[in-house]
Amino acid sequence: MEGGDDLLVQLETVLESDDLIDEIGFIHPTQFESLDSNSDSNHSQFNNEHFWNKDHKLAISSQILSRLYKSAIKAHSNARKSFKIRAESSIREKYSSVEKYDSDESIEKDLLRHSKSLVILSPNFLTAWNSRKLVLSKEDNINLCINELRLSNLVLSYAPKSESAWSHRRWVIKFIADKFQNLEEIITNESELVKNICEKFKMNYRAWNHRCWLVNYMKKQQVLEELNKSKKWAEMHISDNSCFHFRTCLLLKILEISDDSDVWFLWEDELKWNELLITRYIGREALWVHRRFLSYCWINRCLTNQNPNPNLEKDLQNVNNSKLDLFLDQEVKLTQNCLIAPPDEFEDTQVQSKLAISYLLWISKVPLIGSQIRERLGEVTDVASLLVKICPEKSFFWQVYK
């Protein structure tokens, strides 16, 4: 039986010989024979009883993971100690440029090599990711940063919910932004990466959270493109609230960087699209939550939007009041239509009614326009009675509304 140190050397040899590996699998040794027959290539770059590498794919025997992991931790710990000792001694002593370059480069390479093996074996080993940050922060090399993104991409291919990997990826992007100021292509690739990962692994909050973070670095054209691309994805994953939260971040970015006319048009289009989805996909809470955000921003903009020209301020306020009145009428009509839908065997319409009445209750409590909503509702329906009828189990709570 081979020792863990020998196995670690073999793994690091494979990783260094093929730096374009894009997929890793941990499989039982009995499956190794079938890998060659299923591969299009006729030649394996590395093939023994523990490792298999071909076509930039790497397989590792599950039977050696324990030994491999223990050796990787030990090697990384020793390399990290050497790195810190060298860093402390370099502050106290003065070395010649040649001596410092040779020794420091060797220690840094060891730390990068061992930490790479460790994060592959244990994607959430935060200390190993931080060791890589220590080395990268000393360099001004864009290629090293791109390689680091490639490594985290590899880890995320089989551990898509690794918070440490996503966090390290954000650190690298921020490092690139501070040092090189060229992020447009990287941001586009990052957004596409998240999309592909979310297609394979549903409801991935960490991936969507990363995509929301990217909005901070997007320019206006990129934001508009992301709005357009995510629209189709949202329609096909209607219950995934994370996508609608991403659209919320994009829309808030638009509020910051666009003029008033663009915002009105974009918000009106988003409201119409959301209404279409609500009527098409019955009983989906994510759609109603997104509508609350859209409604609040629309109402707030109608009430606060001012024109710097005093002569036009009154006319502008009249236009905004007209938009607000029309919007409130449309909201009452939408919820009414959702409340009168006939029941079905799957209880979707009952859920839709609860969501609609909850939305009505929420919007009637919005400051400054709540009274207008209640007046409109008083003309067409008795909200308190509807609340009791739709959710009788909460009848005591609804008394507060009366």
CA triple 305-310-316, angle to 5 deg: 40
Per-residue confidence at 88, pLDDT binned at 50, 70, 90?
confident
pLDDT higher than threshold 90 for residue 93: no
Cα-Cα-Cα-Cα dihedral of 279, 282, 286, 287, to 10°?
Answer: 0
Residue pLDDT, tens place only, 14-51: 999 998 999 999 999 888 878 876 666 555 556 578 89
Gap between the Cα atoms of 304 and 102, Å rounded: 64
pTM: 0.85
Report phi then psi at 83, rounded to 5. -65, -45
- Residue entry with tokens 């994607």: 123
Encoded tokens for 236 = 């096909």
pLDDT higher than threshold 50 for residue 98: no
Average pLDDT of the chain is 84
Q: 239 or 89, which is more confident?
A: 239
